[in-house]
Amino acid sequence: MNKKALITGASRGIGSAAAKSLAREGYDLFLVCRNSQKKMEELKRELEEKYGISCYTALCDVSDPAQVETMMKQAGEIHVLVNNAAVSYVGLLTDMTVEQWHQVIDTNLNALFYTCRMAAPQMVRRREGKIINVSSVWGNAGASMEVAYSASKGGVNAFTKALAKELAPSGIQVNGVAFGVIDTDMNRCFSREEMDALREEIPADRLGTAEEAGEMICQLVKAPSYLTGQIITMDGGWI
């Protein structure tokens, strides 16, 4: 029987790429997104036909603990949890509403609590499991005009390190990846000039691809069990 990986934010970008990388490794998949059912169904058919794995899909707003609880029960036994779903807000902190702040924190940080508290008991029972949390270089360095996003990803980093220590005695690895600028839809809000300015700061002289990000997540899933509590930075040499 194949092991199963659950991926949030799986309909596009890094989540979709991670699904392809893990399917290639023979994992059955449980793919989750908030509202892009059609895209997930297309991805499901592609992966099942190409790799012969089983793929399940579910709509879930991971910022809602009740929806997450229902979704996790539907997923059943999972061996790998990839917390990838995220939203951003670009603008002055003083222009941000309380509702917008909560949306970012609830989706990017609180959702990890909702998923991990339900996934951890079964992993502890099996004494086996991998949790991969998708973070950002802005969680390390902070970004002007993205205070909430930076705060949420800084929280992801601390959450990852702390949970890794808590679960290590049970044989479970918890790691994160702090990605730099990856060419995904999340960055479509920036103008060509803004993207060119970002690119000029990157020693690799290009943006990362979703495929590279997905492969990095897959590599962490395959990493030796002694690797835990780490935030791996993948940013083209920016930091």
Q: Specify whether the CB–CB gap between 136 and 182 falls below 8 A.
A: no
Nearest to 234 by CA among 212, 205, 201: 212
Q: Which of 27, 51, 89, 149 is catalytic?
A: 149
Q: Is 149 a catalytic residue?
A: yes
148-to-119, 159, 194 alpha-carbon distances in Å: 26, 16, 20
41-to-32, 46, 110, 222 alpha-carbon distances in Å: 11, 9, 27, 26
Nearest to 220 by CA among 164, 169, 182: 164
DSSP-derived 3-state class of residue 85: coil
Q: How many residues does the chain have?
A: 239
Write out the catalytic residue numbers.
Answer: 149
